[in-house]
Structure 1
Amino acid sequence: MEVIEWIQNWYHNNCDGDWEHMYGMKIYNVDNPGWAVEIELIDTKFEDKVFEKVQYDNGDEDWLLCFVKDGIFQGNGDSRKLKKILDIFRDWVEE
């Protein structure tokens, strides 16, 4: 399954009549240029799951940082890392 379809399903499966009114996810571009992804985990079964930070910096066109802080998965990367960020989230959820 492609990661976009997978993330849609993950979102749908967490919508329970309450969660989606308080929490959710954001995918947006940043100006360095790159991507930022925020996925709120509060009131999901992943809220307390340990996430090992993923980070590398090989210059302006090859960098990535993913971590969980305060119940939010946060992924940031260069302009070609959106799929990689979502794949990291999916791999963590499915492990």
Structure 2
Amino acid sequence: MSGSEHVLEWLQSWYSSQCDGDWEHEWGVTIETIDNPGWLVKINLEETELADREYPHQRVTRDEHDWVIAWTSEQTFHVTCGPGNLAEALSLFRTWASEDVAEEL
């Protein structure tokens, strides 16, 4: 199984784990194309355990078609990326969402 299939299976599992009869009617995951060319991914975090976590703005630019930009705002994880970087973009979310965050005392 390639890494991209693995990250897609993980995202499907994460999405399914959020579906509680209400969440999926109000929020969700959007993946669409942009005209750079590239991808835009929005993962709504409202009413999830990730809702209040921040992902600092990150930009990686390798060349005109090989880039990724990720950040959180308004309880949403955003990623834009080049046409061949979708798996990398989704992997950024997986890594961030899977991190163990110690609760502050």
Q: Give the TM-score of the pair, scaled to structure 1.
A: 0.94
Q: Which has the larger radius of gyration?
A: 2
Q: Secondary structure at the match of 1:58?
A: strand
Number of residue pairs the alignment of both structures matches: 95
Equivalence for 2:80: 76
Report whether the alignment pairs 1:29 with 2:33: yes
Out of 2, 6, 9, which is 1:5 matched to? 9
Equivalence for 2:59: 55
Equivalence for 1:17: 21
The alpha-carbon deviation at position 57 of structure 1 amounts to 2.4
Give structure 1 stretches of 5+ with no counterpart.
none
- Would you identify which runs of 4 or more consecutive aligned residues in structure 1 move more than 4 Å? none
- Cα RMSD over matched residues? 1.2
Q: Give the TM-score of the pair, scaled to structure 2.
A: 0.85
CA distance in 2, matches of 1:67, 1:79: 18
User: Residue type matched to 1:23 in 2?
Assistant: W
Give structure 2 stretches of 5+ with no counterpart.
100-105
